[in-house]
């Protein structure tokens, strides 16, 4: 597990974007797992800039998003489809046929639908790099506390903590979805490489539990400790509850000395 300690949100965003860009340059047909959430916006902005100004080419990249609210049509302004188009897809050159986001507007046949989402990931050759954010309750995707560490893509009821956090995206009086379709923790762990980004004090407890806590279904992100190739890109605020924070700071200093041409 690699912890890349960054000064602030801006540095988290550029470091994460540079890592993704390096993967895309190395393998133009990369299968990229994507996340939504406020934390990812700076990273998508930087990737869009790289596409515009540095000719970063996404034309062969295939993407799979983690999750989508149940009950929202793709064109709903608060759907994750809209989020992704607004913040990323409309700024880069990924052909629409290569973009996959769970469809939250289906009303029946969830089991078959979720199995077909998993099958599409497999047919694409599996996810090479999965990007994750983290919820205050330690969820990844929408795998709320008590999610099985072996779970697959499925509908999931949202926790009170997530409803409280995500209601900021919805207007007062507007009904907020209470469930979502999400990749499972088992699905996420099959990605070849995983990068989780976090910023701000509100994430500090969740980040500490994910990196240093026991592996438990109460904190979905703690399952990442089982993965052989995970990078956490976190800022000082999000890292403040880590007991090993000083160690990660020294690792960064040492890396800066040894590898001046590092990615981040
Ligand atoms: C939602 C998404 C998660 C994301 C989380 C954190 O719950 N399903 O994938 O990690 O939000 O969002 P934010 O970055 O806005 O705190």
How far apart, in whole angstroms, are the C-alpha atoms of residue 107 and residue 101? 16
Q: Give the model's pLDDT for residue 171.
A: 86
Q: Which of 68, 118, 128, 144 is catalytic?
A: 144
Q: Is 144 a catalytic residue?
A: yes
Q: Give the model's pLDDT for residue 58.
A: 98
**Tokens standing for 8?**
């602030």
The architecture CATH gives domain 2-258? 3-Layer(aba) Sandwich (3.40)
Per-residue pLDDT of the chain (264 residues; tens, 9 = 90+): 999 999 999 999 999 999 999 999 999 999 999 999 999 999 999 999 999 999 999 999 999 999 999 999 999 999 999 999 999 999 999 999 999 999 999 999 999 999 999 999 999 999 999 999 999 999 999 999 999 999 999 999 999 999 999 898 888 888 899 999 999 999 999 999 999 999 999 999 999 999 999 999 999 999 999 999 999 999 999 999 999 888 888 888 888 788 766 666
Q: Give the model's pLDDT for residue 219.
A: 98
Q: Give the model's pLDDT for residue 261.
A: 65
How many whole angstroms from 74 Cα to the centroid of ligand 1?
Answer: 18
Q: Give the model's pLDDT for residue 146.
A: 96
How far apart, in whole angstroms, are the C-alpha atoms of residue 150 and residue 14? 32
Cα–Cα separations (whole angstroms), residue 127 to 29, 33, 244:
11, 6, 30
Running DSSP on this structure, what letter comes out for residue 170?
Answer: S
**Tokens standing for 2?**
């690699």
Q: Give the model's pLDDT for residue 83.
A: 97
How far apart, in whole angstroms, are the C-alpha atoms of residue 192 and residue 126? 8
Q: Give the model's pLDDT for residue 193.
A: 98
Q: Is 174 a catalytic residue?
A: no
Q: Give the model's pLDDT for residue 215.
A: 98
Q: Ligand 1, residue 40: give the atom nearest the CA.
A: 14
Q: Give the model's pLDDT for residue 173.
A: 83
Q: Give the model's pLDDT for residue 253.
A: 86
> What ranges do the domains of the chain cover?
2-258
Give the number of residues written for the chain.
264
Q: Give the model's pLDDT for residue 255.
A: 81
Q: Whose CA is nearest to atom 1 of ligand 1?
A: 37
């Amino acid at each position: 597990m690699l912890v890349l300690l960054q000064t602030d949100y801006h540095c988290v965003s550029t470091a994460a974007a540079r890592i993704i860009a390096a993967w895309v340059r190395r393998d133009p047909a990369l299968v990229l797992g994507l996340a939504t959430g406020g934390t990812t916006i700076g990273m998508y902005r930087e990737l869009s800039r790289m596409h515009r100004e540095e000719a970063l080419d996404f034309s062969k990249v295939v993407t799979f998003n983690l999750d989508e609210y149940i009950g929202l049509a793709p064109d709903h302004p608060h759907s994750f489809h809209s989020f992704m188009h607004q913040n990323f897809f409309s700024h880069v050159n990924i052909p629409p046929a290569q973009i996959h986001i769970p469809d939250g507007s289906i009303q029946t046949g969830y089991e078959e639908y979720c199995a077909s989402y998993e099958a599409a990931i497999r047919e694409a050759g599996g996810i090479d790099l999965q990007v994750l954010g983290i919820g205050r309750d330690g969820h990844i995707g929408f795998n709320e506390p008590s999610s099985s560490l072996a779970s697959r893509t499925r509908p999931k009821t949202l926790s009170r903590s997530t409803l409280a956090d995500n209601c900021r995206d919805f207007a007062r009086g507007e009904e907020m979805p209470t469930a979502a379709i999400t990749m499972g923790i088992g699905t996420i762990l099959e990605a070849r490489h995983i990068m989780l980004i976090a910023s701000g004090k509100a994430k500090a407890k969740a980040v500490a539990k994910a990196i240093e806590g026991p592996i438990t279904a109460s904190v979905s992100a703690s399952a990442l400790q089982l993965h052989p190739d995970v990078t956490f890109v976190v800022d000082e605020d999000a890292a403040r509850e880590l007991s090993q924070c000083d160690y990660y700071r020294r690792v960064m200093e040492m890396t800066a000395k040894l590898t001046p041409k590092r990615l981040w």
